[in-house]
C-alpha cells in the first residue's frame, strides 16, 4: 500500500521536498484530474456540465470521509482564511464575549478571529504556549471563563508541529457549551481525525499541504446543528438554488453547508483535491502517519546526534536551531525548508524516502 502511495508521486532525486508543511508536491491522481477536466472543458464546454458537478460532489463526499462528518456539512472556499472568515464574521459574538486562541497561530486563523472580535466588541484571549512551544490543553482550560464563547485553535501548529489534544479539549467545551473551532490544515490527511466523534463544532483547512493537491481550495465543515444560525457571507445563485432558477427576491438559503458557496467553483482544483483524498483513504491515514513519523523521528534523532537543538512534537514538523551555514547546506542539496519561529522547519511526507532523510542529515553533519 505504502509503495503504491509513494509511486503516485513524481520522483526527482535532484530535488528534496521537505517543506510539505508549506507546499507539498501534488499526487499523480490530482495532476491527472486537472488534465482530465482541462481537456474535457476544452473539447466539450457545456456538454460536460453534469459530469463535472458530479465529480465536485464526489470530492465533497471524500473530504467528508477524511474529516469525519456528513458531506452536506462541507463547503468549499478559495482558502482556509476565507472559510474561517465565513464562520467567524457571522458567529453570534457580542461585547464581553471571549474567544480563546494560541499565541503561535498561523495568520489565516488568528486574523479573522481577531477582526471578528474587534467588530463585535468581543475579547481575543491569547494563551501562552510552553517555553518548548508545546501546547498542552490545560493552558487553554485554565483561561476558560463564563464569558468564553469560542475556542478557535489549530490542531497542529505550523511553527513547531505542536499538537493540542482535541478530545480532552472537547470534553470541556461540550460540557460548557463553548463552540470549538479547529484549523486542521497542518494535520488532516496526516493524522487520524474525526470531527463528529471528537465533538468538534467546525473545522477549516486547505488543499495544498498534507492533502497533496493544488493550491486554491479551502474548506469549512460545520456541524448541522449550527448551519442555520450562521448566515452566508457571500450570496449568489447557489446560496438559494442553482443557476437555472428564476430570480426571486424572497428566497431562503439552502439548509445545508452548500449555502456558503455563492456561485461557480474551482472545478479543477476541487476535483484534484478529491482524487488526492481518495489516494489517502485507499492508503489509509494510519499508514501515512506511521511513515511520516518514522521519517520525522529519524530526522529528530539524527539532528540531536549531530548536536542540534530540536523542537519536535510527534508530528511531521521538526524545527531545529540552525548553525550559520545550515540554510546554505540545505539549499546546496537542494532541499527546500522554511525559516519559522525558533529555527529551520523541516516537514517530511510519506512519499519521502530513507535516502532523502540520510541526505539531509549528511548535509547538516
Ligand atoms: C495552520 C494553517 N492554517 C492555514 C494555512 C493556510 O491558510 P490559507 O489557505 O488561508 O492560505 C496554513 C499555512 O499556509 C497553516 O499553517
pLDDT in tens, the chain (365 residues): 899 999 999 999 889 999 999 999 999 999 999 999 999 999 999 999 999 999 999 999 999 999 999 999 999 999 999 999 999 999 999 999 999 999 999 999 999 999 999 999 999 999 999 999 999 999 999 999 999 999 999 999 999 999 999 999 999 999 999 999 999 999 999 999 999 999 999 999 999 999 999 999 999 999 999 999 999 999 999 999 998 898 888 899 999 999 999 999 999 999 999 999 999 999 999 999 999 999 999 999 999 999 999 999 999 999 999 999 999 999 999 999 999 988 999 999 999 999 999 999 999 99
CA–centroid distance, 167 to ligand 1, in Å, is: 22
Question: 154 CB less than 6 Å from ligand 1?
Answer: yes
- Cβ within 8 Å of residue 185, ≥6 positions away: 80, 106, 108, 154, 158, 204, 205, 206, 209
C-alpha cell at 358: 540520510
Question: 41 CB less than 6 Å from ligand 1?
Answer: no
CA–centroid distance, 261 to ligand 1, in Å, is: 20
Question: Between the CA of residue 340 and those of 95, 187, 237, 248, 309, what are the distances in Å?
Answer: 35, 17, 42, 50, 15
How many other C-beta atoms can be found within 10 angstroms of the C-beta atom of residue 14? 6
Question: 157 CB less than 6 Å from ligand 1?
Answer: no
DSSP state letter for 2: H
Q: Are strands 310-312 and 318-320 parallel, antiparallel or unpaired?
A: antiparallel
Question: 186 CB less than 6 Å from ligand 1?
Answer: yes
Question: 218 CB less than 6 Å from ligand 1?
Answer: yes
Task: Tell me the C-alpha distance between 96 and 231, whole Å.
Answer: 22
What's the pLDDT score for residue 342? Answer: 86
What's the pLDDT score for residue 1? Answer: 87
What's the pLDDT score for residue 35? Answer: 98
Question: Hey, is 195 helix, strand or coil?
Answer: coil
What's the pLDDT score for residue 272? Answer: 98
CA–centroid distance, 204 to ligand 1, in Å, is: 9
CA–centroid distance, 182 to ligand 1, in Å, is: 12
Question: 185 CB less than 6 Å from ligand 1?
Answer: yes
Closest-CA residue, ligand 1 atom 13, reads 22
- Cβ within 8 Å of residue 49, ≥6 positions away: none
Question: 135 CB less than 6 Å from ligand 1?
Answer: no
- Cβ within 8 Å of residue 138, ≥6 positions away: none
- Cβ within 8 Å of residue 62, ≥6 positions away: 274, 277, 278, 281
Substitution candidate for ligand 1 out of 87, 163, 206, 345 with most atoms within 8 A of CB: 206
C-alpha 61 chain-centroid distance: 17
Global pTM value:
0.97
Amino acid at each position: 500500500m505504502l509503495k503504491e502511495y509513494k509511486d503516485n508521486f513524481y520522483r526527482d532525486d535532484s530535488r528534496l521536498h521537505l517543506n510539505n508543511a508549506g507546499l507539498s508536491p501534488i499526487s499523480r491522481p490530482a495532476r491527472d484530474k486537472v488534465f482530465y477536466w482541462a481537456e474535457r472543458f476544452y473539447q466539450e464546454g457545456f456538454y460536460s456540465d453534469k459530469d463535472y458537478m458530479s465529480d465536485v460532489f464526489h470530492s465533497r463526499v471524500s473530504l467528508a470521509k477524511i474529516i469525519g462528518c456528513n458531506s452536506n456539512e462541507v463547503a468549499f472556499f478559495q482558502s482556509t482564511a476565507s472559510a474561517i472568515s465565513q464562520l467567524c464574521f457571522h458567529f453570534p459574538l457580542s461585547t464581553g464575549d471571549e474567544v480563546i486562541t494560541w499565541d503561535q497561530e498561523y495568520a489565516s486563523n488568528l486574523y479573522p478571529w481577531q477582526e471578528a472580535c474587534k467588530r463585535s466588541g468581543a475579547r481575543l484571549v491569547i494563551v501562552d504556549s510552553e517555553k518548548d512551544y508545546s501546547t498542552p490543553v490545560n493552558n487553554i482550560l485554565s483561561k476558560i471563563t463564563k464569558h468564553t464563547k469560542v475556542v478557535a485553535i489549530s490542531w497542529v501548529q505550523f511553527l513547531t508541529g505542536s499538537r493540542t489534544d482535541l478530545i480532552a479539549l472537547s470534553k470541556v467545551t461540550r460540557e460548557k457549551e463553548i463552540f470549538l473551532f479547529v484549523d486542521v490544515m497542518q494535520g488532516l490527511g496526516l493524522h487520524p481525525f474525526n470531527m463528529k466523534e471528537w465533538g468538534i463544532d467546525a473545522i477549516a483547512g486547505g488543499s495544498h499541504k498534507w492533502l497533496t493537491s493544488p493550491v486554491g481550495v479551502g474548506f469549512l465543515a460545520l456541524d448541522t446543528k449550527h448551519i442555520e444560525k450562521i448566515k452566508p457571507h457571500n450570496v449568489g445563485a447557489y446560496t438559494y438554488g442553482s443557476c437555472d432558477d428564476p430570480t426571486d427576491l424572497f428566497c431562503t438559503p439552502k439548509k445545508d453547508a452548500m449555502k456558503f458557496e455563492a456561485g461557480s467553483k474551482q472545478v479543477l482544483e476541487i476535483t484534484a483535491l478529491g482524487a488526492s483524498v481518495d489516494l489517502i483513504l485507499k492508503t489509509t491515514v494510519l499508514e501515512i502517519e506511521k511513515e511520516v513519523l518514522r521519517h520525522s523521528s529519524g530526522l529528530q534523532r539524527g539532528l540531536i546526534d549531530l548536536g542540534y537543538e530540536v523542537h519536535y512534537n510527534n508530528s511531521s514538523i521538526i524545527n531545529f536551531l540552525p548553525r550559520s551555514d545550515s540554510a546554505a547546506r540545505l539549499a546546496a542539496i537542494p532541499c527546500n525548508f522554511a525559516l519559522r519561529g525558533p529555527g529551520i522547519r523541516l516537514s517530511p511526507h510519506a512519499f519521502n524516502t530513507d535516502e532523502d532523510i540520510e541526505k539531509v542529515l549528511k548535509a547538516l553533519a
